[in-house]
Amino acid sequence: MTHENKLIEVTDLKVSFYHESGKLQVVRGFDMSVEKGKIIGILGESGSGKTVSATSILKLEEDDVSSIDSGEVIFKGLNLMELSESELRKIRGNRISYIFQNASSALNPFKSIGKQLTEVLKNHKLAFSKELVLQALVEVGIEDTETVYDMYPFQLSGGQNQRIMIAQCIISRPDLLIADEPTSSIDASLRKIVLDLLKEINKKNNMSIIIITHDFDVAKYLCDRLVIMYGGLVVEEGPLNEIFANPFHPYTKELIVCAGSLKKGDEIVYTLEGSPPSPFEFADECPFAKRCKVRLPECTSEIPRTLEISGRKVRCIRYEKR
């Protein structure tokens, strides 16, 4: 990957929350980059730090409850970590849009669709017109756009509202869309529609996408590259096809086996035993060591560093030995 192709590059991001007992680091090492026009998936079990890493890229976590302990986020030559709140506001929702996890209420029930979409453009001081709004509605597959323009969310189906929500995120023509579990709170019947829509927008507008998911099938359907998280750390990164064909990290291997076994029917054939560590249990060791079937004695003596192997990254001590 050449540097010029990188739209955003995140290096050594570490994020803590303040608790009664003090400060607790929940993201301990998050690195990723996104090339223009590519779709990157962030995968990992619940609590691994996917959402906090993504929201911290845009400094969306509240200052009084959290702190960014380290990290550089270079977006189109600017380090977002060094920008003021007013400078960041020009980027959020404008150059980088964010579909929040459980965002079913992102639409205002009291405003017409046309008004809500126009407001996005106005808020970002972009040119606005009815024509631009109608065009965005066409792009997300809304038929009869003139009628929908004057309608309210309650008059539309769940599927149409999902499309409008995506229109809200893409009407400013962002360079990057971050979609946090965009299909987890919607009916199975709508899931494919939303995924297809994201795929289409990515292709047509050459818009990069970061999709956060715990569903390997979603990742497989959409992504060019994957970032696998565990215990607040990126444990593996690389092209989707290569990771599927030959996962490096023992955790990634387990995730792939689990995803495959779920498809064999309703009965869960294979699950990964145990649960991921909570940040209160984080220690200077590999966070996966307790569940790892190929653990070595050294795995609990330090946090493994990230190794680069044939253009891929893995954080596992076993690869140091090769």
Ligand X SMILES: Nc1ncnc2c1ncn2[C@@H]1O[C@H](COP(=O)(O)OP(=O)(O)OP(=O)(O)O)[C@@H](O)[C@H]1O
Interface mask (CB under 5 A) for Mg ion, residues 34-63, using x and -?
Answer: ----------------xx------------
User: Where do contacts with ligand X occur on this chain (CB under 6 A)?
Assistant: 17, 26, 44, 46-52, 65, 101, 214, 278-279
Interface mask (CB under 5 A) for Mg ion, residues 93-132, using x and -?
Answer: --------x-------------------------------
Between CA 107 and CA 116 the distance in angstroms is 8
Nearest to 232 by CA among 42, 99, 98, 100: 42
**Where does 90-224 show beta strands of DSSP type E?**
96-99, 176-180, 208-213
Of 51 and 56, which CB lies nearer to Mg ion in the complex structure?
51
Q: Using alpha carbons only, what angle is made at residue 70 by residues 68 and 72, rounded to the nearest 5 degrees?
A: 105
Of 59 and 318, which CB lies nearer to Mg ion in the complex structure?
59
By a kind-dependent CB cut-off of 5 to 8 A, residue 47 interacts, out of ligand X, Mg ion, none, with: ligand X
Strands 176-180 and 208-213, how do they pair?
Answer: parallel
Which residue of the chain is nearest Mg ion when measured via CB?
51
Structure tokens at 277: 């560590």
Between CA 143 and CA 147 the distance in angstroms is 9
The CB-of-309 to ligand X minimum distance in angstroms stands at: 25
Q: Is 247 left (phi over 0), alpha (psi -120 to 50) or beta?
A: beta
By a kind-dependent CB cut-off of 5 to 8 A, residue 67 interacts, out of Mg ion, ligand X, none, with: none
Amino acid letter for position 2: T
CA–CA distances in Å: residue 246 to residues 188, 240, 255, 256: 30, 10, 13, 10
The reply to whether 213 sits near Mg ion by the rule CB under 5 A is: no
| Residue 290 burial (10 A CB sphere; 0-12, 13-18, 19+) | middle
The CB-of-60 to ligand X minimum distance in angstroms stands at: 11
The CB-of-212 to ligand X minimum distance in angstroms stands at: 7
By a kind-dependent CB cut-off of 5 to 8 A, residue 49 interacts, out of ligand X, Mg ion, none, with: ligand X
Q: Are 69 and 248 in contact (CB under 8 A)?
A: no
By a kind-dependent CB cut-off of 5 to 8 A, residue 118 interacts, out of ligand X, Mg ion, none, with: none
Of 54 and 201, which CB lies nearer to ligand X in the complex structure?
54
Of 19 and 130, which CB lies nearer to ligand X in the complex structure?
19
Of 45 and 119, which CB lies nearer to ligand X in the complex structure?
45
The CB-of-145 to ligand X minimum distance in angstroms stands at: 34
Judged by the rule CB under 5 A, the positions of this chain that interact with Mg ion are: 50-51, 101
